[in-house]
Chain A
Amino acid sequence: MDPSDVSNPRYYHKVVDCQWGCPAHTNVPEYIRLIAQGRYTDSYMLNRVSNVFPGILGRTCDRPCEPACRRGRVDGKPVAICRLKRVAADLRDDIKDRLPAIPEKKNGKRVAVIGAGPASLTVANDLMPLGYQCVMYEKLPRAGGLMRYNIPAFRLPAAVLDEEVNNILDMGVDIRFNTPVQSLKALLDEGYDAVFVGSGAPKGKELDIPGRWDTDQVHIGIEWLGSVHFGHIEKIEPRVLIIGVGNTAMDCCRTSKRLGGTDVKVIARRSRPYFKASPWELEDAEEEGIEIVENHAPKRFVVENGTLVGMEFEQLEWTEVDGRQKSKVIGTTIIPCDTVILAIGQDNAFPWIERDIGLAFDPKWDMPIVDKATFQSTRPGVFFGGDAAWGPENIIWAVEHGHQAAISIHNHCQGIDVAQRPADGMNLVSAKMGMQAWSYHNDYNPSPRAQMQHEELVKRFSNVSVEVELGFTPEQTAREVQRCLNCDIETHFTSKLCIECDACVDVCPVNCLTITHDGTTEAELRGRLSAPALNPEQALYTSAALPQTGRLMVKDEDVCLHCGLCAERCPTAAWDMQKFELIRAHAGGGVA
């Protein structure tokens, strides 16, 4: 078998599961170590490089890093990566003087940015330091996009949002509030060097079933949340049904509880394992006394004398047929209610983009055709990102799209092919400080995952903007940082030094290592290791032939604890612990 190529940054990057799983590839282990050292501001700034909004994301991120986290495969619960980010954001000092410098002298290029959501803000964040002039058009009177007018303040306090959004606007972005772009053609005629479309997916889906238009007591979730944000809605009837069980449904049901809803039910078509909302969102809702009703499909709104009195549902039973879930109606039922909120998804809408300007739309979905790597539409110089590109995602994806689009815009404006992406690089430095002494804390802490403290229910319901999560206590933080397994401190092997003494193989607590004869295929090799490597998602490291016997050193990366015992027991330093740092390409930088 070919030896693993660890000089390619992708090899070790993949070992850092959280960083690999994070759409923006945030350097999680390093920021956690900085928190452990009390260097909150450094930790915050390291976060900001990748994810731009550490305070916001430390409260609201969808956290794809956590299901990916190695610790979850070791003791069942991932490191509380997201809420540690919040610790850094909450405890840091003022960072104004550490934000990138904005050149007085501009580079002469003007970029129009449509929308003031996270995708657009990231584009501005990356381009302003390079001397671009960014003109940002926003339909509404405030910046932040859905983070502002849809994510409720009890999850994301306005002050946190304001500071991080203003850090970007204050770079000198020419922001034009209450200015919806009504014609892309007209905007292009203004002669911008590039245009970024970050207008989101602003249209909530309708549910056109009998009775829908006979009452005014049915709301569209994202519009309703927006009205609550702007103070147009301050109350709700006691009995509320939320249709749908995604993120929007969760925010609608919890907001209802704060506006007077006493009997709030979330209605789902399917059963719990198939819900879109994350388990922790469901837990938070249930803690607030919200009932979640499974396997009910809406049939009609029951309206009597012009008043909504309930909704009729078909009760479903799901069975698996050929690997797909099939439903069967087993009955109907009427659930009484005063108000219904529809939270069954969002659509994109581009009525303001003309179809004759060389910007092609997919005829089937009526969505612009956007390149997955460059974020460019079929009209050169017009880029898309965030929910506007391929439909609703989340904040961290919007940020990553923004970074990538900024690279393209920079290329485009400098006359470089947008497909020519700057490459990622890496640093790899030994973590050895002396005999059995490392530059990181290599011991394993068996503590269970820290539980977030919540505000008591009475206080929560008193006001829509009382933040529910209180953050970690110092003791919780101190333990939680130690749960991180330092996946960026890599076990780095030098074949020619190995004398095949087996010491590393014998000492490894999780039986990652095997010295064995060469294999025919990886699958075959996986079966005959010290402990069979059953998780094919994780790499197998295979060395070059060892000097004494020609066998191979094989490492199953799956549950390596990065404890460094292999390196401590190696008499020849064939194993060393080396700190890997991914150097990500960004607009105006990267490894050529």
Chain B
Amino acid sequence: MTSIAKPPVTHPSLPKNALGLTRRDYEGAMSTLCAGCGHDSVTAALVQAFWELDVPPHRAAKMSGIGCSSKTTAYFMRQSHGFNGVHGRMPSLATGANAANRGLMYIGISGDGDSLSIGMGQLSHAIRRNVNLLYVLENNGVYGLTKGQFSASADIGSTSKKGDTNDQRPIDPVLLALSLGATFVARGFSGDKAQLVPILKAGLRHNGFALIDVISPCVSFNDHVGSTKSYRYTREHYEELAPVDFVPMRREITAPEASGGAMSIAMHDGSVVRFRKTGDDYDPTNRDAAYAHVRRHQERGEIVTGLLYIDEKTQDLHALNRTTATPLVDLPYEALCPGNAALQELMAEYR
């Protein structure tokens, strides 16, 4: 909480994007999260990504469930559509909304509790259906909103603020998504926007389900010594994959292609995700290699971050179901509701 709302003035050198908007125009209500919560930084990264992509706010829909993380949809793009549903049900809501209106850009925000406990089945099926949705999982290892109980992502041996040790196996959303066939899988850290913003942009432009697991420390209940999701622990065990640059479709690619091992992946809308060269020859299009890489580092106690896996050749929910290319709102009434004769014809097929 803050005592005042953000004053409506900006720095004189604050730049504008192609729509004539500043970053400030992509903000939402004042956050009521705890001071220093990682989720607020993820919000700031989202604001930056939307601004850089020139997203028209009224063409986006923000979906969420319950949790501190789920509250963050209120804190960006105040002009956008949105639905804040019950705990763990955001994937269904997003699937339904996307099925009805494929013309909007969907952003789902969830937490490790919302996604990996009560909403685990929902998440799994949204991945399976490849709903065209940016799915940001703000992962802090606890149920923040209900005062810090271990969540399903808590590591074995990590301790609660009061000192209890967690003995149950964690669910890693990245490994889960890879094994369920997700077409875009990444991990970021709220404290590293330089890495997170391009990944968010690529995820928004991905044609299908994009899961981004963001380590987002809970300062109030999980930032102590003994936590494996604190700011300090995350920084000390951070293992960054090749950094990515996101080159939007409209911008001419003038910079020379990074040579020797760097990889470029074209997205369906013509944008390009470019992986900068690093020492190892990691291949972000090889699902099994990605899985093995994450596991190998996990074994060593390292947290791998970056865009881990991307597949731009698959079909999203609409293509899989061969739906109409027109959002339902734009269909004429006669097409949406073809009348009794058409109904009778359909019914006859079942007799």
Q: Which residues of A contact B (CB under 8 A)?
A: 73-75, 436-438, 442-444, 446, 499-503, 505-507, 509-512, 530-534, 548-549, 556, 558-559, 561, 563-565, 568-572
Q: Are A512 and B11 in contact (CB under 8 A)?
A: yes
Which residues of chain B from 20 to 66 have a CB within 8 Å of any chain A CB?
A: 23-24, 34-38, 40-41, 43-44
Chain A nearest Cβ from B139, distance in angstroms: 16
Q: Is A506 a contact of B13 with CB atoms below 8 Å?
A: no
Q: Is B342 an interface residue (CB 8 A)?
A: no
Q: Do B13 and A561 touch across chains, with their CB atoms under 8 A apart?
A: no
B36 contacts A563, C-beta separation under 8 Å: no
Q: Across the interface, do B7 and A501 meet the contact criterion of CB distance under 8 Å?
A: no
**Cβ–Cβ contact A571 & B10, under 8 A:** no
CA distance A430 to B342 in the complex (A): 75
Contact B40 A506 (CB under 8 A): yes
B248: min CB distance to chain A, Å: 21
Asked whether B36 lies within 8 Å of A568 as measured between CB atoms, the reply is no
8 Å CB contacts to A: which residues of B165-204? 190-191, 193
B125: interface (CB < 8 Å): no
Across-interface contacts of B284 in A (CB, < 8 A): none
Minimum distance in angstroms from A546 CB to a CB of chain B: 11
A565 touches B44 (CB 8 A): no
| Docked complex Cα distance between A436 and B30 (Å) | 14
Assuming A500-B191, A506-B40, A548-B235, is B7 touching A563 (CB within 8 A)?
A: yes
Supposing A499-B223, A570-B35 touch, asked if A507 and B11 sit within 8 A by C-beta, the answer is: no
Question: Could you tell me if A572 and B36 are in contact, using CB atoms closer than 8 angstroms?
Answer: yes
Expressed in whole angstroms, the Cα–Cα distance for A74 and B11 within the complex equals: 8
Q: Are A509 and B36 in contact (CB under 8 A)?
A: no
Given A501-B41, A511-B10, A511-B14, A565 and B193 contact (CB-CB distance below 8 Å):
no
Question: Assuming the A-B contacts A509-B10, A571-B35, A571-B36, are A502 and B4 also in contact, with contact meaning beta carbons closer than 8 angstroms in the complex?
Answer: no
Closest to B8 in A: A446
User: Taking the complex as formed, is B208 at the interface, i.e. its CB lies under 8 A from any CB of chain A?
Assistant: no
Compute how far the CA of A549 lies from the CA of B7 in the bound complex, rounded to whole angstroms. 31
Q: How far is the CA of A515 from the CA of B34 in the complex (A)?
A: 20
B36 A75 Cβ-Cβ under 8 A: no
The answer, among A436, A499, A564, A565, for a CB contact under 8 Å with B36, is A499
Contact A569 B6 (CB under 8 A): no
Residues of B within 8 A of A438 (CB): 3
CA–CA, A236 and B246, complex, Å: 76
Q: How far is the CA of A436 from the CA of B35 in the complex (A)?
A: 11
9 residue pairs, one from A and one from B, having the closest CB atoms: A571-B36, A444-B7, A506-B44, A531-B11, A436-B3, A501-B36, A509-B6, A443-B4, A502-B41
Residues of chain A within 8 A of B346, CB atoms compared: none
Q: Knowing A534-B13, A548-B232 are in contact, say whether A502-B1 is a contact too (CB < 8 A).
A: no
Q: Is the CB of A571 within 8 A of B34?
A: yes
Q: Is B19 an interface residue (CB 8 A)?
A: no
The interface centre, meaning the residue of B6, B8, B11, B13 with most chain A CB atoms within 10 A of its CB, is B11
- A556: chain B residues within 8 A (beta carbon): 11
In the bound complex, how far is the Cα of B9 from the Cα of A74, in angstroms? 7
Nearest CB of chain B from residue A383's CB, rounded to whole Å: 44
B229 smallest CB distance to A (angstroms): 13
Q: How far is the CA of A532 from the CA of B43 in the complex (A)?
A: 22
